[in-house]
Amino acid sequence: MNSEKGTGLLVRPAVSTDLPGLEEISRLTWDGFDYLDQVAGDWIAEGNLFTGLAEDRVVACARFTRAPGNVLWLEGLRVHPEFRGRGYGRVISEFILKRCIGIVEAREASGIEFSTYSLNAESRGLSEKQGFRVAEWFHILYREGLPADHCRVYPYDPVPEDFSVYPERVSVGWKYARWREPGFLDWFRSVARAWRTETGATFLTSLRDDEASPLASAFHDTDGFFNGLRSFALEHGRTDIELFLHDSMKNMLTAAKEHGFGYWENPDSSNVPVYELKAKE
């Protein structure tokens, strides 16, 4: 456990009794569109989620896990809105980072990575001071009010060639992993699913269902791909979907806009950096 002098924040492994506090943080994050409440129970069971306590309340959390290439992936950093501005985000992120650096220095991991939103200036500034550098850029686009077009989509077992349109990392929602690394497909199946349309366009979705990215054949059938996204969303009871694209996918970005996808903010610019901190030679 850790309690940094002057901050009043106690950091420890999350336990099941933290769930109500984590659910409250989730409800108050991103206008209620956060996913933390959906995954917190699983993260606690896996044993790699940490919570920060102040005034007898769960006020912060953060997590790390392993990604292909023996990378430590950071995610889930949250601070309760009522407790922001007190340095709690810095305390818990430094606590997690210290643990991860120790694992890397012991040669038990190859590096540390995470993604964030481009306008998250506090997170980006802190990470860059800690030595992280941007490795790749992605775009997240959003469409709400999907038309009722329908085409069948079928579960699909992907092969490495399906990911060849990605220079290095594949986007599975806010998770990014190196697809050429051993164990990637096993990792992929644990966090995502692949789908194929009647016309042969393939795409992936995260297990949270509303986050999608194209696979290789989608670039030969963009209309089929976007029809498939709409059908997938509607079949899962949604009228909205988020689309993640690598910054190199210029033609697909153009097609996405033609199909009604847009940015939350900062139009026509990549808005999700993937940061990395490599192990020292």
Could you give the number of structural domains in the chain? Answer: 2
Q: pLDDT tens, 124-165? A: 888 898 899 999 999 999 998 777 666 789 999 999 999 999
178 neighbors 184 (Cβ within 8 angstroms): yes
Q: Is residue 62 scored above 60 in pLDDT?
A: yes
Q: pLDDT tens, 2-46? A: 554 446 899 999 999 999 999 999 999 888 778 899 899 999 999
**Residue 279 or residue 128, greater confidence:** 128
Query: What pLDDT sits at residue 6?
Result: 46
Based on the domain organization, do 157 and 230 belong to the same domain? yes
Q: Is residue 65 scored above 50 in pLDDT?
A: yes
Q: How far apart are CA 159 and CA 157, in angstroms?
A: 7
Domain containing 200: what range? Answer: 138-271
Coil, helix or strand at residue 277: strand
Mean pLDDT of 54-63: 96
Query: What pLDDT sits at residue 147?
Result: 72
Query: Roughly how many angstroms between the first and final C-alpha of the chain, as a whole number?
Result: 30
Identify the DSSP state of 82: G
Band of residue 228 on the pLDDT scale cut at 50, 70, 90: very high
Based on the domain organization, do 187 and 255 belong to the same domain? yes
167 neighbors 246 (Cβ within 8 angstroms): yes
Coil, helix or strand at residue 244: strand
Based on the domain organization, do 148 and 228 belong to the same domain? yes
Residue 242 lies in a domain: yes
Based on the domain organization, do 164 and 80 belong to the same domain? no
Q: Which residue pairs from 218-223 have beta carbons closer than 8 angstroms and sit at least 24 positions apart in sequence?
A: 218/252, 219/165, 219/249, 219/251, 219/252, 221/197, 222/251, 222/252, 222/255
Residue 264 lies in a domain: yes
243 neighbors 226 (Cβ within 8 angstroms): no
Instruction: Find tokens 């407790």 and name the residue.
Output: 83
Q: What is the largest CA-CA distance in the chain?
A: 60
Based on the domain organization, do 149 and 251 belong to the same domain? yes
Domain containing residue 22: CATH number: 3.40.630.30
DSSP for 148-195, please give it: -----EEEE---GGGGTTSSSEEEETTEEEETTSTTHHHHHHHHEEEE
Based on the domain organization, do 105 and 193 belong to the same domain? no
Residue 279 lies in a domain: no
